[in-house]
Structure 1
């Protein structure tokens, strides 16, 4: 499932790719890192759990435009939940990765008007397609609004915790 919000940020130099931040979200051991490694490096191996956040980039050519995806792979372990929201700031899209054997997400995605695709990292099924679809949607939204400024788009609300969590540190 993916929600695209905000707009990709374009470089001021003509011919440079749009830059867009994509965060991967999901519980521990659902395959977030495996998904991005399969996409970026065409590699499928066992990986250790992510500590904090891992960062990847890839430039995609979509029609006559280019998009540089900055992919933030967040840790799924609960002990990192308190810091993961820091990685969400400024995200243009989020990809929710989950284990389909636990609960089917299609109904949830449809109820929230989210993009939905099932993938298999092991079989390399629709891995590239999921990232390509997000890139196309981000560029489409940038074109529809006739602007490349991320401030013109809708924000992606990823964490709606209690108001007490919004306090400044040490205040």
Structure 2
């Protein structure tokens, strides 16, 4: 029992919000990461979905609270609330759909309007398994991330490519940030 208590006491907790156009794979990314398995059938997120996962990274315990948001304008006030209480904003686009990539500027601006610089932004190009349909290069994604001062990674939720690495990168970024710049999960 003492080990279990120590595990919970030593667990760092962080809130993440996932943003991006409909159909880019936000739900697939967090579901694949949480359950370590791939699903092929998802329904569109209505409003906000919530998941959490405990993980161990670099000999430290973390709990990630992940909000999967709906992209429709009618849910903007919900998104704003979740952005304000998050330490990380994960902006997802589909590498096989150039418009979703172009729209990431809007998502990043929404995040910056709510949180300014006190949030880590991660730009994620998803669906790398669609090799022959790719419309956005790795270089374009990396350049946009640099332009906005964001981290960058590509994933494929369908085949699990880089899902764990994405969340390890996020965990590394939040654990190296000053605590006063991050949100208290108890609020």
TM-score by length of 1: 0.72
CA contact (8 A) 1:29 1:76 kept: no
Alignment of 1:7-156 (within 5 A): 15=7, 16=9, 17-41=11-35, 42-101=37-96, 102=98, 103=101, 104=136, 105-141=141-177, 145=178, 150=179, 152-153=180-181
SS of the residue aligned with 1:117? strand
Question: Residue 113 of structure 1: CA displacement?
Answer: 2.2
Query: Higher relative contact order at CA 8 Å, sep ≥6: structure 1 or structure 2?
Result: 1
Q: Is the 8 A contact 2:16 2:66 kept in 1?
A: yes
CA RMSD in angstroms, aligned pairs only: 1.8
Q: Higher strand fraction: Structure 1 or Structure 2?
A: 2
Aligned-pair CA distance for 1:107: 1.5
> Matched residues in 2 for 1:95 and 1:65: separation?
22
Segments of structure 2 that go 5 or more residues without pairing to the other structure are: 102-135
Q: Distance in 2 between matches of 1:82 and 1:125?
A: 32
Between the aligned partners of 1:90 and 1:135, the Cα distance in structure 2 is 17
Q: How far apart are the structure 2 equivalents of 1:78 and 1:44?
A: 27
Q: TM-score, normalised by structure 2?
A: 0.66
> Structure 1: which 5+ residue stretches go unaligned?
1-12, 156-171
Please list the CA deviations of residues 101-131 of structure 1 after superposition, one character each: whole Å capped at 9, or x if unmatched: 2134322101122110000111211011101
When the two structures are aligned, how many residues end up with a matched partner? 135
- 1:152-171 alignment to 2 at 5 Å? 152-153=180-181
Tell me, yes or no, if the aligned pair for 2:12 and 2:61 is still in contact at 8 Å: yes
